[in-house]
Amino acid sequence: MINNKKYDVVIVGGGTAGCACAYNCANLGLTTLLIEKNNFLGGLMTGGLVVPVMNSSTCNLNCNYYNLLVDTAKKFNAQITYKDGNDGWFNPEILKIVLEEILTKPDIKKNLDILLETTVINSKTENNFINEIVICSNLLSLPIVSKYYIDATGCGEFSILSGCEILNDSTNTQQSSLRFILDNVDFDKFENFLYSLSDDEDITNTYRNDINTNNILSFTTASTWNESKVWKLDKFLKSGVQKGLLFEEDRAYFQLFSVAGSVNKVAFNCPRFTNYKDNPFMASIELINAKKAIWRIYNFVKSEFPGFENSQLSNIASQTGIREQNRIKTKYYYTKDDLLSGKKFSNTVLKANYGIDIHSDDKNSSMIQVSNSYELPVESLISYNFDNLFIIGKPIGVDFSAHSALRVQKSCMSMGEGVANYIAKLSKN
Ligand SMILES: Cc1cc2nc3c(=O)[nH]c(=O)nc-3n(C[C@H](O)[C@H](O)[C@H](O)COP(=O)(O)OP(=O)(O)OC[C@H]3O[C@@H](n4cnc5c(N)ncnc54)[C@H](O)[C@@H]3O)c2cc1C
């Protein structure tokens, strides 16, 4: 028998929320197993090339792991703090190493086993409990027993395999994106170009005064086809369409960030495409088309944006950027009204203020609806069907609009940390 350990906690999915949860469970003395299907940790933060972490308030609850991530990434030259104070600008590739560093520290490692390139193929349940799961790595299948199970798969795959109900409360969908990175961009030349255009400081800004960047330029800029928002780059994208370099839909959402710890890499938060949740054939066609769009955008910036002439396509995200997929029914159904009213709860896992952010397929309705501070109760992370199953990260039991605010990375990490604290308390009683 390779492993006949009984765990306190098994976490399925070693991404944004799962790593936070694993660290905190192990740190609190719970014997923990983290199962990840990729050969690296980090999920959308690494494989999805999703940078930066969105600023979502003062982060005064369940942010120990996030702060540790910032400090550790700093040591690997994989983090910068932007001029607005957001310290969540990470380098997605180096973060793979940073996460393993954090999760294999001796005091964590003694309580934490990590399985990479492993997934779950069966979940054995009785009444309202999950008793055992079967994992699969290469040709090996192995039963695993734990007191608590956590679905951190981003898509609710483990909950669905176990027989949980999915929330079926909305016909709305968020657009997906396939992110990519270009290398060998001349930042100085691009900055001069940006500042030769009219001013839209809220959307386009640059920064080079941070001590830990060694004065390397950082920047962010964007453009959308939403006519109510006219940003610096709009006219170039429109003329790109006229010249036949771009398709009209390539203008839908076009966003660029410099990459922390690099002097010449630019991360693109595009192209966007339709999220066919229930049709793998259409979903695959969209993914193939997304790569064609990446090739168009790459050639467009090379010819139209000073600084990109010698750029090279270096990464296409290995994980598709799906903003919203399956939300799982939980003990408390959290709504947009709870979020906007800042409703108070007794068992709170996070406090944040990131707004309602829907990437709509409707041309003029993409928006961020600002909100004040709100909190999320742990009951929205406990499965409705199984008392020893928690759901963290994207598949939580909240409505479509609330989800669009709660899905940002810092909140996902707080969910992981909050659930670890909650389970540690339950285990003591
Ligand atoms: C295109 C896009 C842009 C975004 N932009 C931003 C942004 O700028 N800032 C921000 O803060 N947030 C942003 N977000 C939101 C944020 O990145 C995600 O909502 C968040 O990272 C989700 O975390 P998660 O842990 O739920 O999922 P993930 O990070 O995706 O982790 C899920 C993990 O589970 C693993 N997994 C899945 N199934 C199994 C299985 N069966 N067995 C084992 N492992 C499994 C996956 O491989 C993955 O590692 C963006 C999201 C998208 C899609």
Q: What is the pLDDT along the chain (429 residues), one digit of tens a residue?
A: 567 789 999 999 999 999 999 999 999 999 999 999 999 999 999 999 999 999 887 667 999 999 999 999 999 999 999 988 899 999 999 999 999 999 999 999 999 999 999 999 999 999 999 999 999 998 899 999 999 999 999 999 999 999 999 999 988 889 999 999 999 999 999 989 988 887 777 788 888 765 555 678 888 888 888 777 778 898 999 999 999 999 999 999 999 999 998 889 999 999 999 999 889 999 999 999 999 999 999 999 999 999 999 999 999 999 999 999 999 999 999 999 999 999 999 999 999 999 998 887 776 665 667 778 999 999 999 999 999 999 999 999 999 999 999 999 999 999 999 999 999 999 987
> Which atom of ligand 1 is nearest to 13's Cα?
34
Cα–Cα dist 305/204, whole Å: 15
Judged by DSSP in three states, 259 sits in: coil
Residue type, 186: D
Report cis status (omega within 30 of 0) of the bond before 52: yes
CA of 46 to the centre of ligand 1 (A): 9
Q: Beta 348-352 vs 272-273: how paired, if at all?
A: unpaired
Alpha-carbon gap, residue 233 to 69, rounded angstroms: 33
The helix-helix angle for 16-27 and 409-428 (nearest 10°) equals 30
Q: How far is the CA of 303 from the centre of ligand 1 (A)?
A: 33
Residue range(s) in the chain whose domain bears CATH number 3.50.50.60: 6-171+325-428
156 CB under 6 A from ligand 1?
no
Determine the distance separating the centroid of ligand 1 and the alpha carbon of 91, expressed in angstroms.
Answer: 16
CA–CA distance, 227 with 105 (Å, rounded to integer): 50
What are the backbone angles phi and psi of residue 77, rounded to the nearest 5°? 55, 40
Q: Which amino acid is at 33?
A: L
Two tokens, residue 65: 């792991």
The correct answer on CATH 3.30.460.10 for the domain covering 6-171+325-428 is no
Sequence letter at residue 164 = C
Q: Is 338 in the pocket of ligand 1 (CB under 6 A)?
A: no
* Cross-strand pairs, 122: 134
Residue 49 Cβ contacting ligand 1 at under 6 Å: no
The first and second tokens of residue 108, run together, are: 């964590």
Asked if residue 18 has its Cβ within 6 Å of ligand 1, the reply is yes
Cis peptide before 271 (omega within 30 of 0): yes
Q: Select from 10, 11, 12, 16 the residue to mutate for testing ligand 1; criterion: most ligand atoms less than 8 Å from CB.
A: 16
Q: Which atom of ligand 1 is nearest to the CA of 177?
A: 1
β-strands 140-151, 6-12 pairing:
parallel
Positive or negative, the CA dihedral 60, 61, 67, 69 is negative
